[in-house]
Chain A
Amino acid sequence: MEFSELIKTATVESVLLAGTGLPAVRGTLCITSHHLLLSSCPGGDGQPGTVELWLLIRNVDAVEKRLAGSSGTITLRCKDLKVLQLEIPGMEECLNIASSIEALSSVDSVMMMYPFFYRPQDLRLEEGWHLFPLEQYFQKIAAQTNQWRLSDLNRDFTTCPTYPAGVIVPAAVSDDTLRRAARFRQGGRFPVLSYYHPRNGTVMLRSSQPLTGPNRKRCPEDEVLLGTVLDEGERGFIIDTRSAQAAKQARMTGGGTEPKSSYPQWKRLHRPLERGRPLQESFIKLVEACNDASLSMDRWLSRLESCRWLSHVKAALSTACLAAQCLDREEASVLVHGAEGTDTTLLVTALAQVILDPGCRTMVGFQGLLEREWIEAGHPFHLRCARSAYSHARLKQEAPLFLLFLDCVWQLSRQFPFSLEFGESLLLALFDNAYASDYGTFLCNNEKERCLCKVKENTHSLWAWLNQPEEKKKYLNPLYSHNPLVIWPSVEPQSIQLWQGLFFRWIRPSQYLEEARAEMQRLVEAKEAPAKESAGSRLSRSLSDPAARTENER
């Protein structure tokens, strides 16, 4: 396929661009394989144009066109929730532009996506892809206990197509046993270590549901695997992210839960979390409500309630806290799973680690967590983030679990404003890049696909970009100070707020809040200043000047 076939009209003159909160500009619109550009020529035709818009077409979620007389208006609703309007002279041009954008934005082939073409000058291709090797993570655990080992039984992705090559498993369990246990778990996602709690040696495991089915099948290897994790007389908790009812029903389709009789040391807790289509619909409804300017104060609150997004935030946080509480307070190991073990499971395990582990609250540690618990753990980003909240396309497997995770982390950062090394801007950047990106980090659904597409060889890593010193600075929290303790958030409704920075990013006036942020930065930097620079410089000034004078006096 050639991109040029999809582009019906490449350039249109005198297009008016408008977005919320921005002054409208007129310029030349240009469509390339991956971008929509609008450049204005303030100084007349001879002058080089200023680029007013540089939009990744993959970022376009919905294209709406409205024709009026000889011109038309195209509304572009983006995956990052921004809304842009293009007023295009000429009906045909308008239709052509709209259909070109539509066609280009729905190219579904991974290898055709922009990250495979993006070649920034200041980054090397391989940079950032191996920042967080599982080996390194395992070494930290191995330094404290010999009960775990790093297994490469999945090196060719045959045991579990959605797991990475390496997994951390109980040392006492052989690869053979693991392979058999994997056959008893949906998609082969057998229980693996997600987090080791150094304070008391308890662990958090994750998996998919067991395939007990209607006949209550058992799997001795799976039972051995889970049994090994606990010492004699020790108890563990299985946090099932489905309701007891839903878990029971799953038996009809071959799934199910761990029956008490077969796993006597494990206690099952059901914490239903929303996933799949209902979660996507919640996201869509919330964005709709946020964009509805006609709402009165009263109706706003009921709309907010009816889209249920904040309830999902509360539920996700509570469940993660429960998992963390089991580990830290109950001193009991935990297994988390729902059905496939690629969505709400990862939401809970990742979030629990942010709460428990100060290491995950640093800039680098958080990236490592995302790499380990979302990307390598096989969250199907390609499917889940194919469309955002505006798309009119029929929903397939889209669901904003990753956004829900980011929202929960934002809630933590609001309740513990000094405890996270990164700020809201990082969370926003991650949201944007998960849905449309120049980088390959969030491409594909799992490591196997990434290998097949040679993502790590042929695209740049987002982490390489983010960790450049100049770039990194933008994402740091100026108030950060290392907090070695567990951060237990409040999950009361009074404590949970709508993430305005995301849902109202393009709507609310941000000037005053930006000013406040700048002021905060200024204060914190001023704190350093007199002690370091200005003290140094002033002292040296007062040192050098009198010195010169004494020289003269002599």
Chain B
Amino acid sequence: MEHIRMPKVENVRLLDRVSSRKAALGTLYLTATHVIFVENASETRKETWVLHSQISSIEKQATTATGCPLLIRCKNFQVIQLIIPQERDCHDVYISLIRLARPVKYEELYCFSFNPKLDKEEREQGWKFVDLNEEYNRMGIPNDYWQISDVNRDYGVCDSYPTEVYVPKSATAHIIVGSSKFRSRRRFPALSYYCKDNNASICRSSQPLSGFSARCLEDEQMLQAIRKANPGSDFLYVVDTRPKLNAMANRAAGKGYENEDNYSNIKFQFIGIENIHVMRNSLQKMLEVCELKSPSMSDFLWGLENSGWLKHIKAIMDAGIFIAKAVAEEGVSVLVHCSDGWDRTAQVCSVASLLLDPYYRTMKGFMVLIEKDWISFGHKFNHRYGNLDGDPKEISPVIDQFIECVWQLMEQFPCAFEFNERFLIHIQHHIYSCQFGNFLCNSQKERRELKIQERTYSLWAHLWKNRADYLNPLYRSNHSQTQRTLYPQMTPCNFLYKFWSGMYNRFEKGLHPRQSVTDYLMAVKEETQQLEEELEVLGERLANLQKMQLNGNKIQSKQQDRGKQLGLSASTNSLANTPQEYGSDLKSFPSRSPSQGDEDSALILTQDNLKSSDPDLSANSDQESGVEDLSCRSPSGGGCLPSEDSGKDSDEAVCLAV
């Protein structure tokens, strides 16, 4: 590829961020799609793969005696520190990556070359896996109050909306078009969620162009139609998810918010969620805290607080809770908007839906939810996640925040979600990876023009194929937590919002629990199932055998053998790890040598010393570090987990081979 100035650099060192002393020597490769680092150490040859689309920034630092450091920060929160021996090589790699990480055409993105070896039919099936018409049918729509409208069939009314929108039956095309002219980017009120138990609904739109005094009859009729589509309620909540000050400032620009006097029977409510710029800076600050080298507890907590990140997460959640309560408890419909109605509105509508409807807490349902509230309603994936080179001020972790809200809920309601944390992490990964076509572009219109479905694959089918990896073992469809509306505690609740190290320190394995309860329980569950199936087969066989007068004892013992074979012996999940640098700031003498009275030389507590001096111990430490690699596997052999975490996906490997 023409942008690669330097396809291969040898003797590059990859630094371990937690422990600066551990560095791996290896070779760096630049391919059309990935940066690949292959360790020299012959027994492991560990590989680190980074997709170009994941790179968020590349920093070339001042050359030192050991070489030229290159810092690559990724959108999935991986941070890679390389030291390249020659300054010139480093510069070439830097220049190449700058270009590779910022494609200018959609066609340059990975999904257009990614080939999971599926035939045309499978590809089409994959795209049909999530069907929004089916979803609205599931909600009970169309019905007496709601219908599908084709007013936007050729994106004539609103180019960031889907062609098929659901609106109140009483809203005529005239009303819709009129209303759309009174709304930013013509994003008129449309249905997001409908609760068939009580007819209450969640609708979404952009802000009205009310300025200081403007009115629009059709828009007022539109809101009235939404209210009337819920006959049980005599008013409609209008939730503006912006801080009041921001909304007021918009009035000066001829935009703004609904005047309660002009709309009949609405209750207007501000819920202050900050804008994309505040959120971008907040994430930036939090990531700086994550990157601190051996921070103290105070550094970390102060930094976390200063970033404001958890405060923002809570604000989004609070808005979602408000709406869910309005719908479920009061039976009142809600219209949600922010400015353009594609960021905060998407967050809040999807959090509310998730709280209200257990379906969205299943794996398939969650995919549908993202498809519905984010993809179809024109969340600007390309701009927000910087898939193509563009305005950096457009970038903001909007969907990341939604995904974190889901994780925070999972922590509070451990049995309520069919999927596990890994599912969320992998979705986040693929929103940035551009490996699948789902999240390309800024709207449905753009995606259709690009013929995404004919040229790329769908992530949903891919995740569904691997769904066994994403199951939450504690989920049971008949569990009480799964069935009802979730009501997170409101006060006191600050302590419920926690830093998500599984996401933001995802690649720092050393920071996470060393044994995975999810994987263990999943394996237990699977093997229980296997045993039960086995049992059934045996039962049948027994019935047959018994006719032949055979003794059942033999089979019973066989059954036990089978149990052993399955290796459910829990001891396989024991593991160890290696000590961290508990003594990094420690002053000491070198180990096993006469004191030199040098109080400043660091205490070097390394395995390497042990290895060279004592063969017995070296075996031991090998065993320990060997076990460490198993740390996140299932007890019964494992190794079947998706390997994106190690930077390499089997699919990606296939692609490269092609």
The CA-CA distance from A297 to B309 in the complex, in Å, is: 10
B 380-423 binary contact with A (CB < 8 Å = 1; else 0): 00000000000000000000000000000000111110000000
A487-520 contact mask (Cβ, 8 Å, vs B): 1 or 0: 1101111111110100010011100110110011
**Contact in complex: A481, B415 (CB < 8 Å):** no
Query: When each residue 76-115 of chain A gets 1 if its CB lies under 8 Å from chain B and 0 otherwise, what string results?
Result: 0000000000000000000000000000000000000000
A301 contacts B542, C-beta separation under 8 Å: no
CB pair A527 B300 closer than 8 Å: no
Question: Among the listed stretches A188-196, A215-223, A308-316, which one makes contact with chain B, having 4 or more residues with CB under 8 Å of it?
Answer: A308-316
Asked if residues A415 and B414 are in contact (CB atoms below 8 Å), the reply is: no
Q: Which residues of B contact A504 (CB under 8 A)?
A: 495
Bound complex: CA A267 to CA B294 (Å): 24
Q: Considering the complex, which residues of chain A in the window 430-475 have a beta carbon less than 8 Å from any beta carbon of chain B?
A: none
Asked whether, in the complex, the Cβ of B591 is within 8 Å of the Cβ of A547, the reply is no
Within 8 A of A (CB), among B536-566: 538-539, 542-543, 546-547, 549, 552, 555-556, 559-560, 563
Decide if A508 touches B496 in the complex (CB within 8 Å): yes
Q: Contact between B300 and A530 (Cβ–Cβ < 8 Å)? A: no
Would A267 and B559 count as touching, CB distance under 8 A? no
How far is the CB of B536 from the nearest CB of chain A, in Å? 9
Total number of B residues with any Cβ neighbor in A under 8 Å: 97
- Tell me whether B497 is interfacial, beta carbon within 8 Å: yes
How many angstroms from the CA of A493 to the CA of B520 in the assembled complex?
Answer: 26
B586, A322: Cβ atoms closer than 8 Å? yes
The docked-state distance in angstroms from the alpha carbon of A325 to that of B588 is 14
Contact of A485 with B627 at beta-carbon distance under 8 Å, contacts A308-B298, A498-B495 already known:
yes
Q: Which residues of B contact A479 (CB under 8 A)?
A: 517, 520-521
Is A296 a contact of B494 with CB atoms below 8 Å?
yes
Is A535 positioned at the interface, with any CB of B under 8 Å from its CB?
yes
Residues on A with beta carbons closer than 8 Å to the beta carbon of B308: 298
Inter-chain contact B498/A497, CB cutoff 8 Å: yes
CB of A329 within 8 Å of the partner chain:
yes
Q: Are B582 and A322 in contact (CB under 8 A)?
A: yes
The answer to whether A490 touches B573 (Cβ under 8 A) is no
Q: CB-CB < 8 A to B24: which residues of A?
A: none
Contacting residues of chain B (414-449) with chain A, CB-CB under 8 angstroms: 414-416
Say if the beta carbon of B44 comes within 8 Å of chain A: no
Q: Mark B568-611, 1 if CB is under 8 A from A, else 0.
A: 10110111111110110011110110110000000101010010
Asked if A250 lies at the interface with its beta carbon under 8 angstroms from chain B, I say no
Residue among A304, A490, A546 facing the most chain B CB atoms (10 A cut-off):
A490
A492–B574 CB distance below 8 A: no
The distance in angstroms between the C-alpha atoms of A412 and B302, with both chains bound, is 24
Q: Which residue of A lies closest to B560 (CB)?
A: A531
How many Å from the CB of B313 to the closest CB on chain A? 8
Chain B nearest CB from A413 CB (Å) reads: 10
On whether the beta carbons of A295 and B539 are closer than 8 Å, the reply is no
Report the nearest B residue to A524, measured CB to CB. Answer: B524
A151 to chain B, nearest CB (A): 31
Binding-face segment, B155-163, B471-479, B641-649: B471-479
What separation, in Å, do the CA atoms of A119 and B195 have in the docked complex? 59
With contacts A498-B495, A524-B524 taken as known, whether A483 is within 8 angstroms of B574 at the C-beta atoms is yes
Cβ-based interface call for A417 (8 A)? yes
A156 within 8 A of B: no
Which B492-530 residues sit within 8 Å CB-CB of chain A? 492, 494-499, 501, 505, 508, 510-515, 517, 520-521, 524-525, 527-528
CB 8 Å contact bits of A258-273 with B (1 = contact, 0 = none) = 0000001001010000
Q: Of B532, B571, B589, B627, which contacts A235 at CB under 8 A?
A: B589
Contact of B513 with A491 in the complex, beta carbons under 8 Å: no
**Inter-chain contact B535/A535, CB cutoff 8 Å:** yes
Answer whether residue B68 sits at the interface, using C-beta atoms and an 8 A cutoff. no
Is B59 interfacial (CB-CB < 8 Å)? no
Q: Would you call B276 an interface residue if the criterion is a C-beta within 8 Å of the partner chain's C-beta atoms?
A: no
Contact of B514 among A330, A487, A498 (CB under 8 A): A487
Q: Which residues of B contact A512 (CB under 8 A)?
A: 412-416, 481
Residues of B within 8 A of A324 (CB): 579
| Residue B639 interfacial (CB < 8 Å) | no
Mark contacts of A263-287 with chain B using CB atoms, 8 A cut-off: 1 yes-contact digit, 0 otherwise.
0100101000000000000000000
Contact B570 A535 (CB under 8 A): no
User: A143: CB under 8 A from chain B?
Assistant: no
In the assembled complex, the CB of A105 is this many whole angstroms from the nearest CB of chain B, namely: 27
Q: Which residue of B lies closest to A530 (CB)?
A: B531
A8 at interface by CB-CB < 8 Å: no
User: Within the complex, what minimum Cβ distance (angstroms) separates B112 from chain A?
Assistant: 37
Report if A116 contacts B (CB, 8 A): no
A305 to B627, CA, bound (A): 36
Closest B residue, CB atoms, query A500: B495
* B489–A508 CB distance below 8 A: yes
In the complex, the answer to whether B415 meets A485 with C-beta atoms within 8 Å is no
Chain A residue numbers with a CB within 8 Å of B510 are 490, 492
Given A269-B588, A485-B627, is A495 in contact with B574 using a C-beta cutoff of 8 Å? no
**A–B complex contacts, Cβ < 8 Å, 15 sampled:** A269-B586, A269-B588, A304-B301, A308-B297, A311-B298, A417-B513, A485-B627, A488-B579, A491-B582, A492-B294, A515-B415, A523-B474, A527-B525, A542-B546, A550-B549
13 additional A-B pairs beyond A325-B605, A524-B524, A539-B539, beta carbons within 8 Å, are A267-B588, A301-B494, A479-B517, A496-B297, A512-B412, A520-B521, A527-B524, A527-B527, A527-B531, A527-B568, A530-B528, A534-B535, A535-B535
5 residue pairs, one from A and one from B, having the closest CB atoms? A481-B570, A485-B576, A493-B300, A516-B414, A300-B494
- Taking beta carbons and an 8 Å cutoff, which residues of A are in contact with B? 233, 235, 237, 264, 267, 269, 290, 292-293, 295-298, 300-302, 304-305, 308, 310-311, 313-314, 318-319, 321-322, 324-325, 328-332, 414-419, 479-488, 490-498, 500, 504, 507-509, 512-513, 515-516, 519-520, 523-524, 526-527, 529-531, 534-535, 538-539, 542-543, 546-547, 550
